[in-house]
Amino acid sequence: MRNGLSKDLIARVLGGAPKYTLDELETKFPARNLPEGAMVTRFAPSPTGYMHLGNLYSFLIDYKLAQQSNGIFLLRIEDTDTKREIKEAVNVVIKALSDFGIKYNNDEQYGPYYQSQRKDIYHSVAAYLLEKGLAYPCFLTQEEMDDIREKQGLAGIATGIYGEFARDRDMSEEDIIKHLDNGETPTIRLYSMGDPNKRIYFKDFVRGSISLPENNEDIVLIKSTDRLPTYHFAHLCDDHFMRITHVVRGEEYFGTVALHIQMFRMMGWQLPNYIHTATLDKIDEETGKQRKMSKRKDPENNIAFFLQEGWPTESVVEYLGNILAPGYEEAKLKGQVRCFWDYELKPKKIPGSGSLFDMKKLEWWAKEYIATLPVSELVKNVVDWANEYGNEDNKKQVADVPYLTSVLSIERDNPKRIRKDFITWQQTLSEVSYFWDFLFNANKEYEYNKDVLREFLATYNANDDKDSWWNKIVAVAEKCGVKPGEVAMNLRVAMTGRTNTPDLYSVMQVLGGERVKERVNMIL
Ligand code: GLU
């Protein structure tokens, strides 16, 4: 500890007197009145305009923990470090949450939720630290810090502002005033009393009991450029005053835990529980090796990809849920739970190292999910997707909703035998494209038995029920000396251009008598 600064000097150092005392902040943001065990979590993105799969993975955990414990999940915008257009980027965040069915609960009492609007809070905490001698103003210039770094590099020792390199650590009030009079704006640094030869112990939910060397760096709490907090200091203040119980964040933050524990202890505040998640990996298509997802190489790393391609977002949640909560798939197959939201996520079981995200597996979850949808919902999803993301052809396909509904109703009436060939809304439309004349490509390669087609036309009646229709096919087969299956195959290819389709009778009923005759005649 050093000598604390006087109130006047604190006001000068911070560019204004602090608005609150710590006690006032404690009263303004009281402990939450929640049932025992309720978890308070937050998703705290720095808005970049791009939401990656790791973000989704994180906020699913946050949301799930709050949801299953009757707690609270909130959204905090960490915008103290960005020079970008914030509004657009925040919209990307909000849309991602809503696309994946996630609701956040930013109750007014604990706001504001943009860090850029919480300066008063950070400055009030900083003032407390300055007063107690737990922080100090530092006037090192960029050049001076570069020099220090270079020297440290040459000496092969840890870089940063610590110990003997922290020139201004014990600067007297008089000298501080001289710098201020000189027009300099200081950064506010932590007065670290950590000793890297000692270790700090803590328990991470994913990684278990861990020890890390204590932090001795006088890290920046408040930047001189805009007087906004660094991530570390904002994390301390916000997660305390928002009364967050569980901090879920990427493993890249693991290295800073010792510093964070040091700061929470210094304040006498309860440390949140940490859950440091592993990165999501994929199998590289070229090398066949497991590697991290890449923004540059992997389109699926961008959450928007799933919307654009029309993946049911529920199935992405289901699949990620299964990565997070081992055992979920089994419970679901056994019919014990309906969806991921009904399955208990045990924080301790969240995987601690490179989990694999495999698009092929996602296909399975998507097929299963679509198969459970009533036709009206399937239609609605397809129509919404086409109108928002589809091309002109897709839009034409969904223009006649009753027709689309009959197309998508095929093989959906028996709950035990629902077709499972629909994967995405986009692929659904292309899977059934032959139902629209402007998309239908007659198969000219197939060697049709034209006698069969001619005979079929001669007796065809669009009003026939399935039995009469089949009896006629058997009769045509006998007459032409072929098997009924061959008649059906000739018809199938003529109707759809494909050798593999759902139930042929249903297909022909939906196409309707006119189209059936037209397509057969086209071949003849
Ligand atoms: N703004 C940080 C990020 O986007 C938040 C990390 C955290 O959750 O504490 O990575």
Write out the DSSP string of 475-524: HHHHHHTS-HHHHHHHHHHHHHS-S--S-HHHHHHHH-HHHHHHHHHHH-
pLDDT of residue 86: 84
CA 431–ligand 1 middle distance (angstroms): 41
- CA distances from residue 174 to 6, 310, 516 in whole angstroms, order as listed: 12, 65, 96
Between the CA of residue 16 and those of 12, 127, 137, 187, 209, what are the distances in Å? Answer: 6, 10, 14, 14, 42
At 344-372, the pLDDT tens digits run 999 999 998 878 999 999 999 999 999 99
Average model confidence (pLDDT) across the chain: 95
Atom 8, ligand 1: residue with shortest CA distance: 249
Distance 18 CA to ligand 1 centre (A): 26
pLDDT at 288: 92
For residue 65, pLDDT beyond 90: yes
Query: Which residue CA neighbors atom 9 of ligand 1 most closely?
Result: 249
Please report the atom of ligand 1 found closest to the CA of residue 55. 4
Q: What angle do CA 401, 406, 407 make, to 5 degrees?
A: 95
Distance 37 CA to ligand 1 centre (A): 24
Dihedral sign from CA coordinates of 130, 133, 137, 143: negative
Q: According to the 3-state scheme, what is the secondary structure of 178-215?
A: HHHHCCCCCEEEECCCCCCCCEEEEEECCCEEEEEECC
Mean pLDDT of 8-32: 98
Ligand 1 environment, Cβ below 6 A: 44-46, 78, 235, 247, 249
Mutate to test the pocket of ligand 1, among 46, 58, 277 (most ligand atoms within 8 A of CB): 46
Of 432, 290, 285, residue with least CA distance to 356: 290
Contact 57, 303 (CB under 8 A): no
Give the helix/strand (H/E) hosting 231. Answer: helix 231-241
Ligand 1 atom index nearest CA of 78: 1
**In contact, 281 and 357? CB cutoff 8 Å:** yes
CA distance 209 to 205: 8
CA 58 centroid distance within chain: 6
- CA–centroid distance, 230 to ligand 1, in Å, is 12
118-139 pLDDT tens trace: 999 999 999 999 999 999 999 9
How far, in Å, from the CA of 70 to the mean position of ligand 1?
23
Ligand 1: which of 42, 78, 260, 275 to mutate, judged by most atoms within 8 Å of the beta carbon? 78
Q: Where do the domains of the chain lie, and which CATH numbers do they carry?
A: 7-25+119-277 (3.40.50.620), 306-370 (no CATH), 373-435 (no CATH), 450-523 (1.10.10.350)
Integer-rounded Cα Rg, in Å, for the chain is: 32
Cis amide leading into 326 (omega within 30): no
| Residue 271 Cα to chain centre, angstroms | 26
Mean pLDDT within 25-29: 98
Q: Which atom of ligand 1 is nearest to the CA of 239?
A: 9
Which residue's alpha carbon is nearest to atom 3 within ligand 1? Answer: 45
pLDDT band (50, 70, 90) for residue 1: confident
Atom 10 in ligand 1: residue holding the nearest Cα: 45
Written as six digits, the tokens of 384 are 């919404």
- Distance (angstroms) between ligand 1 centre and the Cα of 310 equals 28
pLDDT in tens, 259-305: 999 999 999 999 999 999 988 999 999 999 999 999 999 999 999 99
Q: What is the pLDDT of residues 199-249, one digit of tens each?
A: 999 999 888 899 999 999 999 999 999 999 999 999 999 999 999 999 999
pTM of the full structure: 0.93
**Ligand 1 center–CA 463 separation, angstroms:** 63
- Whole-number Å distance between alpha carbons of 347 and 246: 10
Q: Are 379 and 402 in contact (CB under 8 A)?
A: no
375-428 pLDDT per residue, tens: 999 999 999 999 999 999 999 999 999 999 999 999 998 878 888 999 999 999
Contact 366, 311 (CB under 8 A): yes
What pLDDT is recorded for position 460? 95
Summarised one tens digit per residue, pLDDT across range 171-210 is: 999 999 999 999 999 999 999 999 999 999 999 988 889 9
How far apart are the C-alpha atoms of 3 and 71, rounded to whole Å? 42
Averaged pLDDT, 4-27: 98
Q: Separation of 46 CA from ligand 1 center, angstroms?
A: 7
